Amino acid sequence: VYPLLGAMTFVTSMCLFQLTRNVFMNPDV
């Protein structure tokens, strides 16, 4: 229905996943 909104949500979730993984992988940062 909202391709743009879906794409934005997908990109945001991917960014959050990368940030979360980096935090868990590198607690110092």
User: What are the extents of the domains in the chain?
Assistant: 1-28
In this prediction, residue 27 carries a pLDDT of 72
Q: Residues 15, 7: contact at Cβ < 8 Å?
A: no
For the entire predicted model, the pTM comes to: 0.60
Q: Residues 21, 28: contact at Cβ < 8 Å?
A: no
Q: Which residues contact 23 (CB under 8 A, 6 or more apart)?
A: 29
In this prediction, residue 19 carries a pLDDT of 95
What does the pLDDT look like over 1-29, one tens digit per residue? 688 999 999 999 999 999 999 999 987 76
Q: Residues 13, 19: contact at Cβ < 8 Å?
A: no
In this prediction, residue 29 carries a pLDDT of 60
